[in-house]
Amino acid sequence: MRKRYGVMAAVVLLLIFGGLFYQRLKGEETEHKKSIRIGVTLYRGDDSFINTIRSNMEEQAKEYEKKTGIKVVMEVVDAKGNQNAQNSQVDRFISLGYDAICVNMVDRSMASNIISKAMDADLPVVFFNREPVEEDMRRWEKLYYVGENAKESAVLQGNILVEAYRKDPASLDLNGDGKVSYVLLEGENSHQDSLIRTEWSIQTLKDGAVPLEKITGGIANWDRSQASAWMEQWLKEYPDQIEVVICNNDDMALGAADALERSGIKRPVKIVGIDGTPQGLEGLRSGKIFGTVQCDNREYASVIFKIAAAGSLGQDVKKEVTLYQDKYYECSQKAVRAE
Ligand code: GAL
């Protein structure tokens, strides 16, 4: 009997010391990791907002290197709107033994393939801007998503116009017929934010008692030239009616402004966007755009980077970044007006 107790005690001690030793080893491994490798794949490298995030991430990587002495290899690739190409890019990151990947999905409903491969390779994934469906996000604890709250962007955008109307109804109702006549430019219909931005922007105007009349609308896929083509057509069809142009992002707002400029129409049509990209803010300064909603691009990029870096080092990501449901982060936003 005594012998049995002796063996049991020895086993318990072995487990305790073994565990401590393993933890120490792991700790040392984390402490001593002198470099991390992060792969980033973008749905389109020519998207203005995504480019702003990309350059901010590159800056974050440099700052992190300076601060920690840990070398960061960050490879950024462009999927050029092709999901198969993006899947191959992820395969390559995995075969090269990268420590974490950041994925801006081409098709947000197709994340499951990438997730399965990352799980097999034990590779943390930070999705951003194009949100995988919840069912996919729930598959593993090392999946994260960084984005913006679409309703918040839209309410801020709507309020820019509500405030303008309250101050001076004639600034929006240019022909004084008691209605604010608007056209709408929407992002990709497969993007989780497009519908919500449209819905809540209009709802905010209604809640703010702005008398609205929709003339028409179109999908311009976040793109400046597609938006410009729509607007050119509408200005021909409704040359004296358009008073406000509500756009799901800044690039489309700039496209609408391009068409307005080309048309030679001098009425002060009010154009609003979302993003606060450098181009959008420049448009605001030069009076092309009336208002936009800016998400804090630095914060956005720094959170993506921090999660990827902590994940690469096997650290507890939740200690580095405040996440909700342990995987989601929403970037803060503010309205920016021309004045
Ligand atoms: C949106 C952004 C757009 C475009 C899009 C790409 O959040 O407002 O400008 O970048 O993401 O997914």
Angle subtended at Cα 69 by Cα 68 and Cα 73, rounded to the nearest 5 degrees: 100
Q: Which residues line ligand 1 (CB under 6 A)?
A: 47, 49-50, 129-130, 191, 193, 222, 249, 251, 274-275
CATH of 150-294, one of 3.40.190.10, 3.40.50.2300, 3.30.720.210, 3.40.630.30: 3.40.50.2300
Residue with CA nearest ligand 1 atom 11: 129
CA 315 from chain centre, in angstroms, equals 24
User: Which of ligand 1's atoms lies nearest the C-alpha of 148?
Assistant: 7
Structure tokens at 154: 């839209």
Where along the chain do its domains lie? 33-147+297-332, 150-294
User: Which of ligand 1's atoms lies nearest the C-alpha of 250?
Assistant: 9
Separation of 56 CA from ligand 1 center, angstroms?
Answer: 16
User: Which of ligand 1's atoms lies nearest the C-alpha of 50?
Assistant: 10
Q: Which of 162, 144, 120, 164 is nearest to 310 (CA)?
A: 144
What's the CA gap between 55 and 77, in Å, rounded?
A: 13
The confidence score (pLDDT) of residue 33 equals 82
What's the CA gap between 245 and 263, in Å, rounded?
A: 15
> Is there a shared CATH topology between the 33-147+297-332 domain and the 150-294 domain?
yes
The confidence score (pLDDT) of residue 292 equals 98
User: Which of ligand 1's atoms lies nearest the C-alpha of 47?
Assistant: 10
Separation of 254 CA from ligand 1 center, angstroms?
Answer: 14
The topology under which CATH files domain 33-147+297-332 is: Rossmann fold (3.40.50)
User: Which of ligand 1's atoms lies nearest the C-alpha of 44?
Assistant: 6
The confidence score (pLDDT) of residue 115 equals 98
Burial 10-37 (b: 16+ CB within 10 A, else e): eeeeeeeeeeeeeeeeeeeeeeeeeebb
The confidence score (pLDDT) of residue 2 equals 54
User: Which of ligand 1's atoms lies nearest the C-alpha of 251?
Assistant: 9
pLDDT (tens place) for every residue of the chain, 339 residues total:
455 666 556 555 555 555 544 454 444 444 568 999 999 999 999 999 999 999 999 999 999 999 999 999 999 999 999 999 999 999 999 999 999 999 999 999 999 999 999 999 999 999 999 999 999 999 999 999 999 999 999 999 999 999 999 999 999 999 999 999 999 999 999 998 999 999 999 999 999 999 999 999 999 999 999 999 999 999 999 999 999 999 999 999 999 999 999 999 999 999 999 999 999 999 999 999 999 999 999 999 999 999 999 999 999 999 999 999 999 999 999 999 987
CB 258 within 8 A of CB 289: no
Residue with CA nearest ligand 1 atom 8: 249
Q: Which of 42, 43, 44, 50 to mutate to test the pocket of ligand 1 (most atoms within 8 A of CB)?
A: 50
DSSP 133: P
The confidence score (pLDDT) of residue 152 equals 98
Separation of 147 CA from ligand 1 center, angstroms?
Answer: 10
Separation of 112 CA from ligand 1 center, angstroms?
Answer: 22
CA 252 from chain centre, in angstroms, equals 17
The confidence score (pLDDT) of residue 3 equals 59
- What pTM does this model have? 0.90
The confidence score (pLDDT) of residue 339 equals 73
DSSP 3-state of 51: helix
Separation of 218 CA from ligand 1 center, angstroms?
Answer: 16
Separation of 193 CA from ligand 1 center, angstroms?
Answer: 8
Separation of 52 CA from ligand 1 center, angstroms?
Answer: 11
